[in-house]
Amino acid sequence: MCYSLGMNNFQEKMDLERLNPILGQKKIGIFCDFDGTLSPIVADPSAAEINPVARELLVTLRDLVTVVGIISGRKADDLSQRIMVDGLTYIGNHGLERIQDGQRIISKEAKPYLTPIEKAAEEIEAILLPAMQLERKEATLSIHYRQTSDPQKAREQTRQRLESVAHQYGLKLFEGRMIFELRPPIEIDKGSILMELIEVNHLDAAVFIGDDITDTAAFRAASKLRNRGICLAYSVGVLDSGTPPEVRELADLTVPGVYGVVSLLSWLANRLSASST
Ligand SMILES: [Mg+2]
């Protein structure tokens, strides 16, 4: 039956029942990326808005589980202002900052890089192509090229120059969906943050939902923890037309777009409230 293995695997990955093992657990964490996960991808990143049903479900889930966290490349305060739900853990800049008890905290490892990042931003400002957007996020920089007339060409034209600016200031260049990022060369990513949140909250089970390359660090962390018997952690990949192949390959489960995330959150809310009564 080898010929059907691929298809079976593909179909199995769409089955929410795969998450059944977490339902009976005592301490559960639900973690979500923002753009492309809770909010549809839009041409202008500053116009991104959370899906209103997803927001309501985050409120419901917050009251049902130990921790609900948002882990994003955006600035933590930008994130919390777009979501506007109290009592969530907001992790910004891929883990380099967070909002804790209403206070924004930049990780101590990132602090020495704040000035180099500011200087790098000045240089990048001068090499931006028309319709490219530089987003200054204090601990990192994002360069968006989704709105340029030819995004692929824009990427090719700027990649090398950004690489050399990154090198000059001791930073690292990363790429995502129509985005470049300059980040400090620190071993903090969505994977290490997920592990930390699982550890400090003593979680028995966790779900991480994301749509991009940076999220796959958390996907890998989830399967590592599960395989070692440390935490029943599962990853969910959000699929749409622009999904990087790694997301589909590495996720334990896949859902179709933000709409699929809403269905998943709703399924979790229903099952968890049923098991808590
Ligand atoms: Mg995303």
pLDDT of residue 2: 39
**Positions of the chain with pLDDT under 70:** 1-10, 277
Ligand 1 center to residue 34 CA distance, Å? 6
Q: 141-144 and 133-136 as β-strands: parallel, antiparallel, unpaired?
A: antiparallel
Find all residues with CB under 8 Å of 162, minimum gap 6, and list them. 124, 127, 143, 173, 180, 182
DSSP 8-class letter at 72: -
* Domains in the chain, CATH or no CATH each: 23-107+188-276 (3.40.50.1000), 111-183 (3.30.70.1020)
How confident is the model over 152-191, as pLDDT tens digits? 999 999 999 999 999 999 999 999 889 999 999 999 999 9
Q: How far is the CA of 244 from the centre of ligand 1 (A)?
A: 11
| Distance separating alpha carbons of residues 49 and 39, to the nearest angstrom | 6
**d(CA 152, ligand 1 centre) in Å:** 19
211 alpha carbon – ligand 1 mean position (Å): 5
Nearest to 76 by CA among 55, 59, 101: 101
What confidence score (pLDDT) does residue 9 get?
A: 67
Q: Which secondary-structure segment (H or E) carries 223?
A: helix 216-227
Tokens at 203, concatenated? 């979680």
- Calculate how far, in angstroms, residue 277's C-alpha sits from the geometric centre of ligand 1: 34
Residue 70 CA, ligand 1 centroid: distance in Å: 11
C-beta of residue 67 within 8 angstroms of C-beta of residue 203: yes
The span from the CA of 195 to the CA of 201, in Å, is: 10
| CA distance readout (Å), 125 to 25, 94, 129, 135, 176 | 49, 22, 9, 10, 20
Give strand pairing partners of 136: 141
Side-chain half-sphere exposure of 205, counting CA atoms within 13 A: 13
Distance 39 CA to ligand 1 centre (A): 9
Please answer whether residues 273 and 255 qualify as being in contact, where contact means their C-beta atoms are separated by less than 8 angstroms: no
Distance 3 CA to ligand 1 centre (A): 33
- What distance in angstroms lies between residue 42's CA and the mean position of ligand 1's atoms? 11
What distance in angstroms lies between residue 89's CA and the mean position of ligand 1's atoms?
17
Q: How many CB atoms lie within 10 A of CB 221?
A: 24
- pLDDT given at position 8: 56
The residues whose Cβ lies within 5 A of ligand 1, an ion, are 33, 35-36, 211-212
Distance 251 CA to ligand 1 centre (A): 14
Virtual CA dihedral for 48, 52, 53, 59, nearest 10 degrees?
100
The CA 35 to ligand 1 mean position distance, Å, reads 4
Residue 37 Cα to ligand 1 middle (Å): 6
Per DSSP, the three-state class of 132 is: coil
Q: How far is the CA of 93 from the centre of ligand 1 (A)?
A: 12
pLDDT score for 51? 97
83 CA from centroid of ligand 1 (Å): 14
Report the residue count for the chain.
277
Angle at 242 between CA 238 and CA 246, to 5 degrees: 60
Which pLDDT score is estimated for 4? 40
| DSSP state letter for 24 | T
C-alpha of residue 241 to centroid of ligand 1, in Å: 13
Q: How far away, in angstroms, is 234 Cα from ligand 1 center?
A: 17
